[in-house]
Amino acid sequence: MFLQSVRLARVRLARRGNMLKISLLHATYQNSTNPGFHRDSWLETAKNRERIQYIFAMNDNDETSLEATRGALRAVNHPKDEYSTAVQNWNSAAALADGDLLFVISDDLHPPKWWDEQLEEIVGSRDPLNDNFVIKVTDGPSSEETVLRHPIASRNYYEQYGLFDEDFRGVYCDSDFTLRALLFSNILDGRTIKFLHAHPHFDRSIEETPSQIKINDKKEYELGKKLFNKKWSPVQFGLTLNRLPLGKGQGIFPFTKQLRKAIITVRRKLRPNW
């Protein structure tokens, strides 16, 4: 931890005033398409590819991904149990990242042209090293949705709160991240940036991948829902996480900040150690 802090301090000094660096955290699982091709598509659509740090993360029994990413920056993990390893892999990729922004991506998320420049426009004059914020982009057919399925976190946010809660495996980790960001951060509205999420939930003509089959298993939903309700009950009641009132480029609306304070107060009375 000390060495990581020293490394990040050096990164801060070297980068201050320079181009925004973006770390892409790609958790891959038994992808029939070479993960390297996916990396190439992200780099080719970036306006400034030299600013992009691409990190793979995978299971140690995923021979296809291990071979395809040989020599690349990657995290390799041993599965903890029979559940999805998405959270485990994303978190391990984040631990290797040194970017100003940390962007969670997957095998089925595809970028638009010059996505990096569009993100920089959303960030504006904010300093990701000192400002606590996350960004919500459009990653589905509706630009009204606000759950952070593929969150983008500032370095400051990550250093304070980490990425995903390790108790989750995959399902509900996005809802947990969204509610935590609502309470403790500023959610910037980046839904003008539209990424293609090639998922059968949105397009029935798409065949499910091994990753989608595993993460959408009934037992995954049961585990995720149980964990989420245990952690956030009764805070989540009455909140529709997929229709939050985001402020364009300014984070959440002021009345939501008041709601945030009230929720935290109630929560701490119910569970003082939270």
pLDDT tens digits along 105-159: 999 899 999 999 999 999 999 999 999 999 999 998 878 889 999 999 999 999 9
DSSP string, 91-146: HHHHHH---SEEEEEETTEEPPTTHHHHHHHHHTT--TTT---EEEEE-SS-TT--
- Please report, as a single letter, which amino acid is at residue 127: D
**Which two structure tokens, joined as six digits, stand for 133?**
């914020």
| pLDDT for 3 beyond 70 | no
- Which pLDDT band, with edges at 50, 70 and 90, does 263 fall under? low
Q: What is the pLDDT of residue 84?
A: 67
Contact 35, 28 (CB under 8 A): yes
Q: What is the pLDDT of residue 8?
A: 54
Q: What is the pLDDT of residue 22?
A: 98
Cα 225 to Cα 233: distance, rounded to the nearest angstrom: 11
Overall average pLDDT of the 261-274 stretch: 57
- Which pLDDT band, with edges at 50, 70 and 90, does 254 fall under? very low
CA diameter of the chain: 51
Q: What is the pLDDT of residue 111?
A: 97
| pLDDT for 52 beyond 80 | yes
| Domain CATH for 218 | 3.90.550.10
**Which carries the bigger pLDDT value, residue 271 or residue 186?**
186
Which runs of consecutive H residues, i.e. helices, occur in the chain? 2-15, 35-45, 63-68, 86-96, 115-123, 155-161, 173-184, 210-215, 218-232, 254-270
Using alpha carbons only, give the angle 77, 72, 156 rounded to the nearest 5 degrees. Answer: 70
Overall average pLDDT of the 9-20 stretch: 59
Overall average pLDDT of the 160-175 stretch: 92
First to last CA, the chain: 24
Give the CA radius of gyration of the chain: 18
- Which pLDDT band, with edges at 50, 70 and 90, does 85 fall under? confident
Q: What is the pLDDT of residue 255?
A: 46
Rounded alpha-carbon distances, angstroms, from residue 191 to 21, 47, 64, 140, 272: 20, 19, 34, 10, 36
Q: What range defines the domain where residue 233 resides? A: 2-270
Rounded to the nearest integer, the mean pLDDT of the chain is 83
**Which carries the bigger pLDDT value, residue 86 or residue 115?**
115
Pair type for strands 196-197 and 246-247: unpaired
In the chain, the percentage of residues whose pLDDT exceeds 90 is 54
| pLDDT for 252 beyond 90 | no
| pLDDT for 62 beyond 80 | yes
Contact 137, 195 (CB under 8 A): yes
Overall average pLDDT of the 242-270 stretch: 59
Q: How many domains does the chain have?
A: 1
* Torsion sign (Cα): 216, 93, 181, 168: positive
- Please report, as a single letter, which amino acid is at residue 174: D
**Which carries the bigger pLDDT value, residue 237 or residue 139?**
139
Q: What is the pLDDT of residue 238?
A: 66
